[in-house]
Structure 1
Amino acid sequence: MFLLSWLNNGEQQTREEEYLESQQGFRRNAFKIITKMLDWCNRTEGSKKFVDEILYSIFFLGKINNPQFLPEMIFADDKQILENLKKTYPKPFELYSTQLPRRSPFSCVMDMTTDKQQWPYGHCAEAESVSNLLKKENDVKEKAQPTSPTCTETNRQRAKERVVRHLRGVLRKVEFNDWDNNYYTPQTNYS
């Protein structure tokens, strides 16, 4: 019986080690994405806000991952990058365990790669769309107004409260219990 118990414990430990190793992909990929964003940031003026936001969203995902990957674990192989990031982008390090991200890291990557993209033909389609929208502003506002009699301020508030209550339940399941009811806003005043 003792031998069987010992073997089961050994198998259990092996499975746990294999699981932990399989989760290292998060750490490696987070590090790759962050270092790539830093490289782009060094070549693209005005993109530090995206690095701030991507750091935050990756740190948040690391916090709710099982097992957790704290920022120090993501940068375990390069303490110098960690220290530089803490100096340049302090907010993501301070708030990742109390606030929720507004979007995923991939959304930040997409914005960063398209924000400063210069197209040979300019951004005429975008400008034309905005121009047409502004010409029809009153018409658009009128059509966008809710028409249902159940669309009241009271019902909107009730729906918001239900969503927040459900969100809190989801956050409890992933052991994110210190939410301060705020969503992360990236710092934008970088020089």
Structure 2
Amino acid sequence: MDKEPNKSEHLSNEEVFRRNAFQIIIEMVELSNQTREDTSVLVDEILHSIFFLGEINRPKFSPKRLLDDNEEIYDHLRDRYPQPFSLYSSQIPRRSPFSCVLDMIVQVVGQENEDEIKLKLQTLSHQLMQNAELQILVSSTICISRINIPGSKRYYGVSMSTKGRPAGQIMVAASSFSYWDDYVADAVMTYCPKKTKKPYFDGTFQLHAEVSCQAYNIRKGIEMDPCRSCGNLFGLQSPEKEKHWPYGNCAEVESVSNLLKNENRVRENVQPRPEENRQRAKDEVSKHLKNLLKNQVQFNWDGVFYCPESVRDEEEETEEEETEEEETE
């Protein structure tokens, strides 16, 4: 029988990756069963996201290995969610795993119950960080954005939850192209991939004073000031002079993106997106992404960002409706 690690022992990074992957998947399935809402799309999405990260990890982990070599769980999930099992080795996720965990918890708890949401994330984070020196597949920060009026809806985001530099850069690029609001993606791509501002393109913007955007350390539950990167992207007031996280890694990015996707009054107060040289900026990020996939992690990408089946169906229906409206006109 394998010896269980005690508090003074630390698991290897690879053991932590496998353990956390399995625990997160099991947690997502259990949370999905706790709500009457159909949250299967989030389970589908996180399976693909984790399987992809296992595929590009060194050493590589197959879905079966990430499911603790449990045949029963493997067969059940593969039958229920076939797409992640067939597409993890050819398509890129739109976002990192803990983003899906956050969405699931918000669905189960309700967006208005921010203290309970933070507590659930904190509890899970402590479980996943046990006997581990590094945060692997676990976000360190949550951010809550909202309009400063009574009863306004809260919009959540978490920091990137990957392992290693190539994976983080891949997910920032993927989220810029396929998940984040266009305004937020433009701001991030202004600085990516070299962490310096492009001389030919500026998609940054300043959030209106009516918006609050507050980050918290998930494990400690304490408020965090925006880093210099978030100040550069969104005009958030940052006392930090030195702390300068890679652009796109912070929880503020996802939180602000969700806010802009849903609050037109906030979006209308953001300066118009610059069209000049925008494609050039996207091409630079795309080139970097393809180079990472080919030369850093040896991933044979088919050019498609993974879309969970139910989301894909909704998008296809929307496209069909738009086509019908255009034909009618």
Structure 2 residue 51 is matched with structure 1 residue 24: no
What is the TM-score of this pair, normalised by structure 1?
0.72
Change (3 A) 1:125 1:22: closer
Which of the numbers 112, 136, 147 marks the counterpart of 2:104? 112
Which residue in the other structure is 2:138 paired with? none
Q: Which sections of structure 2, spanning at least 5 residues, go unmatched?
A: 1-11, 114-149, 155-210, 212-258, 314-329
Which whole-Å deviations, capped at 9, do the CAs of 1:77-133 have from their partners, x for residues lacking one? 31101001111101111111111111110010011001232357xx93218x89xx5
Which whole-Å deviations, capped at 9, do the CAs of 1:16-66 have from their partners, x for residues lacking one? xxxxx6512211111111111111111123111110111011001100110
Structure 2 residue 297 is matched with structure 1 residue 175: yes
Q: Distance between the aligned counterparts of 2:85 and 2:108, measured in 1?
A: 27
Higher strand share goes to which structure? Answer: 2
Which of the numbers 51, 58, 66 marks the counterpart of 1:66? 58
Which residue in the other structure is 1:144 paired with? 271
Which residue in the other structure is 2:306 paired with? 184
Which whole-Å deviations, capped at 9, do the CAs of 1:127-149 have from their partners, x for residues lacking one? 8x89xx55x48xx5375313x6x
Contact 1:97–1:176 (Cα < 8 Å) also in 2: no
Contact 2:31–2:108 (Cα < 8 Å) also in 1: no
Instruction: Give identity over the alignment, percent.
Output: 41
CA offset at residue 170 of structure 1?
A: 1.2
Q: Distance between the aligned counterparts of 1:57 and 1:71, measured in 2?
A: 11
Structure 2 residue 34 is matched with structure 1 residue 35: no
Contact 2:52–2:89 (Cα < 8 Å) also in 1: yes
Read off the aligned partner of 2:33 and give its amino acid letter: N
Which of the numbers 61, 66, 80 marks the counterpart of 1:88? 80
Change (3 A) 1:42 1:116: closer
Q: Which sections of structure 1, spanning at least 5 residues, go unmatched?
A: 1-20
Higher helix share goes to which structure? Answer: 1
Change (3 A) 1:26 1:142: closer
Read off the aligned partner of 1:96 and give its amino acid letter: Y
Structure 2 residue 39 is matched with structure 1 residue 47: yes
Q: Distance between the aligned counterparts of 2:293 and 2:23, measured in 1?
A: 27
CA offset at residue 177 of structure 1?
A: 3.0
Which residue in the other structure is 2:280 paired with? 158
Q: Distance between the aligned counterparts of 2:16 and 2:300, measured in 1?
A: 26
CA offset at residue 156 of structure 1?
A: 1.8
- Structure with bigger gyration radius: 1
Read off the aligned partner of 1:156 and give its amino acid letter: R
Contact 2:22–2:68 (Cα < 8 Å) also in 1: no
Which of the numbers 148, 152, 157 marks the counterpart of 1:125? 152
Contact 2:25–2:47 (Cα < 8 Å) also in 1: yes
Q: Distance between the aligned counterparts of 2:72 and 2:63, measured in 1?
A: 13
3-state SS in 2 of match to 1:43: coil
Contact 2:92–2:301 (Cα < 8 Å) also in 1: yes
Contact 2:39–2:104 (Cα < 8 Å) also in 1: yes
Q: Distance between the aligned counterparts of 2:293 and 2:64, measured in 1?
A: 23
Q: Which has the higher contact order (CA 8 A, sep 6+)?
A: 1
Q: Distance between the aligned counterparts of 2:51 and 2:297, measured in 1?
A: 15
Q: Distance between the aligned counterparts of 1:80 and 1:169, measured in 2?
A: 38
Structure 2 residue 229 is matched with structure 1 residue 102: no
CA offset at residue 159 of structure 1?
A: 1.8
Which 4+ runs in 1 deviate beyond 6 A?
A: none
Contact 1:100–1:179 (Cα < 8 Å) also in 2: yes
Change (3 A) 1:181 1:32: same
RMSD: 2.8
